Chains A and B, each alone.
Chain A
Amino acid sequence: DTAVSQTPKYLVTQMGNDKSIKCEQNLGHDTMYWYKQDSKKFLKIMFSYNNKELIINETVPNRFSPKSPDKAHLNLHINSLELGDSAVYFCASSQDHRHHNEQFFGPGTRLTVL
């Protein structure tokens, strides 16, 4: 069984479109994260939710809006996509955000904006 899953795996879209990436974890974890990995493979955190509550919100354009309908799901919606949004986006989860930093990552969603 996949622990952290993301859909879609690949996403190719035009500039200006709105798109969503979905993430689900079946580990029973309380905390979920979204990371962006650029072309140089640098991983940077974007958001984190603990039990559906936003706890980390890095300096991310407000075109990016995370939504957590329950603690097993954290979706990422992106409005008005720009060329610079092209990257691989990883979802991750951990048992909680205070004491256990063992984050488990999904397989990633490669977003290409044309």
Chain B
Amino acid sequence: GQQLNQSPQSMFIQEGEDVSMNCTSSSIFNTWLWYKQEPGEGPVLLIALYKAGELTSNGRLTAQFGITRKDSFLNISASIPSDVGIYFCAGRRVQGAQKLVFGQGTRLTINP
């Protein structure tokens, strides 16, 4: 079954606003990844996190690997229309198979 809880499921914001979304799990993860998917395309990697407490930025995007290793968040500052899409968190568990588990996604809609 699904092992990552991503919230919120959807967001409707005004252009220029900041966005925050997060992912939590009951299991420890040793890798957190954040992807963005646009309509008709595959997910594109935004940020990769490999150490607890790690804070990484990619332009207006910032993501953090939670200290407990059970959560991660993604922030987008000063949103613009091209930020529209579905954002997925993904993680690799310490225990278990060598695979990525994905969250349900956060659908971001921006009103100009």
A, B assembled together:
yes
Contact between chains at B102 and A4 (CB < 8 Å):
no
- Chain B binder among A13-21, A62-70, A72-80, A96-104: A96-104
| Contact residues of B: prevailing secondary structure | strand
The reply to whether A56 and B86 contact each other, CB–CB distance below 8 Å, is no
Q: A55 and B102: CB pair below 8 A?
A: no
Provide the residues of chain A in CB contact with B86, threshold 8 Å: 41
When A101-B48, A102-B33, A102-B48 are in contact, do A43 and B43 touch as well, CB less than 8 Å? Answer: yes
Contact A105 B99 (CB under 8 A): no
Find out whether the CB atom of B104 lies under 8 angstroms from the CB atom of A101. Answer: no
Instruction: Assess whether B41 is in contact with A107, with CB atoms less than 8 Å apart.
Output: yes
| Residue B100 at the chain A interface, CB threshold 8 Å | yes
Q: Confirm or deny: B66 has a beta carbon within 8 angstroms of a beta carbon on chain A.
A: no
A59 to B107, CA, bound (A): 28
Decide: B48 and A42 in contact? CB cutoff 8 A: no
Contacts of B88 in A (CB 8 A): 43
Cβ of B43 and Cβ of A56 under 8 Å apart? no
* B98, A90: Cβ atoms closer than 8 Å: no
Could you tell me if B104 and A108 are in contact, using CB atoms closer than 8 angstroms?
no
Give B contacts to A, CB under 8 Å. Answer: 2, 31, 33, 35, 37, 40-45, 48, 86, 88, 90, 92, 97-100, 102, 104-105, 107
What 6 pairs across the A-B complex have the smallest Cβ distances?
Answer: A105-B42, A43-B102, A105-B43, A101-B31, A97-B98, A41-B105
